[in-house]
Amino acid sequence: MDNGEPRAWIVTVGNEILIGRIVNTNAAWLAEKLTFMGFRVERIIVVPDEPEHIAEELRRALGRARVVITTGGLGPTYDDRTLEGVAKSVSRSLKLNPEALEMVRRFYERRGLELTEDRMKMALLPEGAEAIPNPVGAAPGSWLEVEGTIIVSLPGVPAEMKAMFEQHVEPRLAREAPRKALHECGVIVRGVPESGIAPYLKRIARKYPHAYIKSHPKGHETDRPILDIRVLASAPTREEARSLAERIIAEIEETANGLGGQVEREPC
Amino acid sequence: MDNGEPRAWIVTVGNEILIGRIVNTNAAWLAEKLTFMGFRVERIIVVPDEPEHIAEELRRALGRARVVITTGGLGPTYDDRTLEGVAKSVSRSLKLNPEALEMVRRFYERRGLELTEDRMKMALLPEGAEAIPNPVGAAPGSWLEVEGTIIVSLPGVPAEMKAMFEQHVEPRLAREAPRKALHECGVIVRGVPESGIAPYLKRIARKYPHAYIKSHPKGHETDRPILDIRVLASAPTREEARSLAERIIAEIEETANGLGGQVEREPC
């Protein structure tokens, strides 16, 4: 499992997950992204929204993980204390970040709302951190590099977290991950309903963490089912990515044939 | 948040979660159970299925958490190494446990299958551990108490994990948690479709971690919707449990009225 990939930790801040009222889908989404980018996700840790707990886990990650992503606890309320925890873990203090303040100011201005003290609190970042723009909500994120570890803090609202990660974090982190080549192949399967092949595709997907497998139903689900199945594989070289995609396509073909489907391969 | 409740940690063993191919629903289920029983869940940690990583996290929990539940990694294959990690964390070795062996033997005997070496491996428990019967699958669980911390290890298959927890772990752990009284109240809501009130119920449920709120649709979803909403509240005393249930019922009533429903309270 350990192939010398840079390590990533995910720290989810949220009492709601610790009381079992929310399933940690943010962590699953980030874990898939980071794995696909070439990181080895070594820990997913859920902590109470208290700075001491957040700092305890971040300190363990320093110098060990190349990147730590925290989610949650960036909002304007009294129990949003993630950045206090981040600052504490690296023995720095929180400071009003001018860029973050400008982001928050603009967010509320556009909505005709005042910049209250609660709202300004969202512009307090750990000393030395950069603000990450939030295209969806009010709270900026934080990017801080210390002792060779990048600590990225994103909000807990999935739509905000995902937009910020994809627009501002993923492109920068890609430079830290081993260079990856991508290759995509597709296959059309006729005569097998999506629900029939889904469990097999799931099993194949689990076997190959460095590939995305998606199926798109085209015909009628049970009457004349047609499925367009796409495989996007990532590997250190173009050749390896292509051969990985081909191997997966071959497995899908075998499965579909076994289920009585007709398979039409695209040139790969 | 910290009211002196005994602390619980959940350690999920599974590369499949770390690569983002599976969402950690086991942890959410356990977290809700433990919270409701009166524990404070302080950590949910996902680790790779390697004994060193498992032991590292368990060592941190020893003497700090009253109970740690691990899930996953109890099966017959080479990468099922959770109990190695448990043993390592307390500097003990794995030993063939006679009760566990009997459970495994009977499981395969009933299916007319042989007791192979791989299968016998599932009867290797940390020295001093008790076997937990598995009413669904082959792998027994492990119950080990060291330094005031109970380490319970359950399989990762949700049906097995849940059955074992409810039948064999919950009753014993209940003794470790603060005594709790339960009180149930109900309310019938007419004229509001379940999908309309669901987001409000969810918000109320999050506000009250020590209560279960369940709604059962009785009439037709959109035409003549009737909902039976049940609230089960837990608190240190009978009186507090009743007053908590009543407070929640009152909130639900207000919400339902606001949505134009007719509310009929049961005596509570």
Residues A133 and A200 placed together within one structural domain of the fold = no
- Tokens 């003990």 — which residue? B92
* Residue B161, φ and ψ in degrees, nearest 5: -55, -50
Q: Which of A7, A9, A19, A213 to mutate to test the interface with B (most CBs of B within 10 A)?
A: A19
Put simply, the answer to whether B20 touches A30 (Cβ < 8 Å) is yes
For residues A231 and A170, is the Cβ–Cβ distance under 8 A?
A: no
Specify the DSSP element, H or E, that contains B186: strand B181-190
Nearest to A1 among B15, B30, B46 (CB): B15
The answer to whether the CB of A231 falls within 8 A of the CB of A213 is yes
Are A211 and A166 in a shared domain? no
B72 and B192 in a single domain? The answer is no
Beta-carbon contacts of residue A64 (< 8 Å; ≥ 6 apart) = A7, A149
Residue B40 CA to residue A120 CA, distance in Å, equals 32
B contacts of A19 (beta carbons < 8 Å): 31-32, 35, 41, 209
Q: Does residue A234 lie within any of the structural domains?
A: yes
**Nearest residue in B to A50, CA atom:** B1
Contacts of B44 in chain A (CB under 8 A): 17-18, 24, 44-46
Claim to verify: residue B144 and residue B227 sit in the same structural domain: no
Cβ distance A32 to B53 less than 8 Å, yes or no, reads no
Contact A29 B20 (CB under 8 A): yes
Q: Do B99 and B136 lie in a common domain?
A: yes
- A76 belongs to a structural domain: yes
Residue A95's pLDDT is: 97
Q: Are B122 and B139 in contact (CB under 8 A)?
A: yes
Amino acid at B140: P
| ipTM field | 0.80
Q: What is the pLDDT of residue B1?
A: 43
pTM of the full structure? 0.81
B62 in the same domain as B191: no
Is A35's CB within 8 Å of B44's CB?
no
Task: Report DSSP state, residue B111.
Answer: T
Lowest pLDDT segment from A18-22, A160-164, B39-43, B151-155? A18-22
Inter-chain CB proximity A209 and B19 less than 8 Å: yes
Which residues in B have their CB inside 8 Å of a CB on A? 1, 15-25, 27-35, 41-48, 50, 53, 205-206, 209
Flag whether B2 is in a domain: no
Torsion of CA A155, A159, A161, A167, to 10 degrees: -140
pLDDT for the residue numbered B3: 58
Share of chain B above pLDDT 70, in %: 97
Is B202 part of a structural domain of the chain? yes
How close B101 comes to chain A (CA, Å)? 30
**Shared domain check, A123 and A23:** yes
Give the A:B interface size as CB pairs under 8 Å: 104
Find the closest chain A residue to B23 by CA distance.
Answer: A28
Same domain, B169 and B37: yes
Q: Which of A122, A155, A173 is the last residue of a domain?
A: A173
- Helix B51-61 to helix B82-89 angle, to the nearest 10 degrees? 40
Show residues of chain B in contact with A23, CB under 8 Å: 23-25, 28
Percent of chain B with pLDDT over 90: 66
Query: Tokens 């009628």 map to which residue?
Result: A220
Q: Evaluate whether residue B1 is within a structural domain.
A: no
Predicted local confidence at residue B220, as pLDDT:
64
Look at residue A1 and tell me if it is in a domain. Answer: no
What separation, in Å, do the N-terminal and C-terminal C-alpha atoms of chain B show? 28
Of B123, B155, B173, the last residue of a domain is B173
Q: In chain B, how many domains are there?
A: 2
b/e sequence B80-104, b meaning 16+ C-beta within 10 Å: bbbbbbbbbbbebebeebeebbebb
Are B157 and B218 part of one and the same domain?
Answer: no
| Geometric angle at alpha carbon A151, from A130 and A177, rounded to 5° | 105
Mean pLDDT in residue range A209-221: 78
Q: A167 in a domain, yes or no?
A: yes
**What is the helix (H) or strand (E) element at residue B255, kind and residue range?**
helix B238-258
Quote the pLDDT of residue A41: 96
In this prediction, residue A77 has a pLDDT band, given cuts at 50, 70 and 90, of confident
Contact A21 B206 (CB under 8 A): yes
- The DSSP bridge partners found for residue B189 are B227, B263
For residues A201-226, give the mean pLDDT: 81
The yes-or-no verdict on residue B6 having pLDDT over 70 is yes
pLDDT tens-digit profile of A98-123? Answer: 999 999 999 999 989 888 888 899 99
User: A194 near A180, Cβ under 8 Å?
Assistant: no
Considering only CB atoms, A43 lies closest to which of B28, B33, B46, namely B46
Domain check: are A31 and A103 in the same one? Answer: yes
Contacts of B50 in chain A (CB under 8 A): 1
Minimal C-alpha gap between A36 and chain B (Å): 8
CATH code of residue A214: 3.30.70.600
* Residue-wise pLDDT tens digits, B170-209: 999 998 888 778 888 999 999 988 888 888 998 898 889 8
Asked if A1 lies within 8 A of B19 by C-beta distance, the reply is: no
Residue A154 lies in a domain: yes
Q: Which of A16, A32, A53 sits opposite B19 (nearest CB)?
A: A32
The predicted-structure confidence for B54-89, as pLDDT tens digits, reads as follows 999 999 999 999 999 999 999 888 789 999 999 999
Domain-ending residue, one of A138, A173, A208: A173
Subunit contact B21:A32, Cβ cutoff 8 A: yes
Q: Please indicate, yes or no, whether residues B195 and B127 belong to a single structural domain of this protein.
A: no
pLDDT of residue B36: 84
Kindly state the tokens that stand for B159.
């049906």
Could you tell me if B206 and B157 lie in one domain? Answer: no
Contact at 8 Å (CB) between B184 and B178? Answer: no
Is A22–B28 a contact, with Cβ atoms under 8 angstroms apart? Answer: yes
Model pLDDT, residue A236: 85
Q: Which residues of A touch B (CB under 8 A)?
A: 1, 15-25, 27-35, 41-48, 50, 53, 205-206, 209
Residue A130's domain spans which residues? 7-173
Mention every residue, 6+ apart, whose C-beta is less than 8 A from residue B21: A32, A205, A206, A209
Q: In CATH, what number is assigned to the domain containing residue B148? A: 3.40.980.10
